[in-house]
């Protein structure tokens, strides 16, 4: 039995993100995609629209000097347009490093990602790593 299309879509997204292939990543999202990042750091907030989501990813790379990495552990689906991923992310910022487990809850519409709700293991630690909102 093959992989569910929603799981395959999420895996393609992680692969594109990890390779820095923003063109492919953008093609997997709806134009009005939203990514919700928890906490109160300069990376936190609600990013609406493909260009704003991709700009947030560029800022993530900039803040971490290109060191941000994510290791996908698993993807689960409900078969009704939702998928959940579990991953570990690592990055360096200045003289500080971080490694944390987290995940994303995806809403998928028309075989494209329309919404990503992010969860992290320790919001306070993530906020401290990225620094206060500007």
pLDDT at site 132: 93
Question: What average pLDDT does the segment 92-110 reach?
Answer: 97
**CA distance linking residue 38 with residue 123, whole number of Å:** 7
| pLDDT score of 57 | 97
Contacts of residue 127, Cβ cutoff 8 Å, sequence gap at least 6: 39, 40, 41, 44
65: domain CATH number? 3.10.450.50
- Asked if residue 26 lies in contact with residue 50, where contact means CB atoms within 8 angstroms, the answer is yes
Q: How confident is the model at residue 15 (pLDDT cuts 50, 70, 90)?
A: very high
Which tokens belong to 8? 């395959």
First and final C-alpha spacing in the chain? 48
Beta-ladder partners of 97: 92
- Total of domains in the chain: 1
Give the domain range for residue 119.
5-130
In this prediction, residue 2 has a pLDDT band, given cuts at 50, 70 and 90, of confident
pTM assigned to the model: 0.95
Report d(CA 125, CA 112) in Å as an integer: 31
Cβ proximity of 71 and 88 under 8 Å:
yes
pLDDT digits (tens, 9 = 90+) for 31-80: 999 999 999 999 999 999 999 999 999 999 999 999 999 999 999 999 99
* pLDDT at site 133: 87
* C-alpha span between 76 and 42 (Å, rounded): 29
Residue 88 has pLDDT above 90, yes or no: yes
Beta bridge pairs of residue 34: 48, 115
- pLDDT value of residue 33: 98
């Amino acid at each position: 039995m093959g992989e569910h299309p929603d799981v395959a879509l999420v895996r393609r997204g992680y692969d594109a993100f990890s390779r820095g292939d923003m063109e492919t990543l953008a093609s997997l999202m709806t134009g009005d995609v939203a990514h919700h990042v928890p906490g109160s750091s300069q990376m936190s907030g609600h990013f609406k629209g493909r260009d704003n989501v991709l700009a947030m990813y560029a800022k993530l790379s900039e803040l971490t000097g290109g060191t941000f990495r994510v290791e996908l552990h698993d993807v689960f689906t409900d078969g009704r347009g939702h998928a959940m991923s579990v991953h570990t992310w690592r990055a360096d910022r200045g003289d500080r490093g971080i490694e944390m487990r987290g995940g994303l809850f995806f809403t998928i519409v028309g075989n494209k990602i329309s919404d990503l709700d992010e969860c992290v293991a320790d919001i306070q630690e993530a906020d401290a790593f990225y620094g206060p909102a500007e």
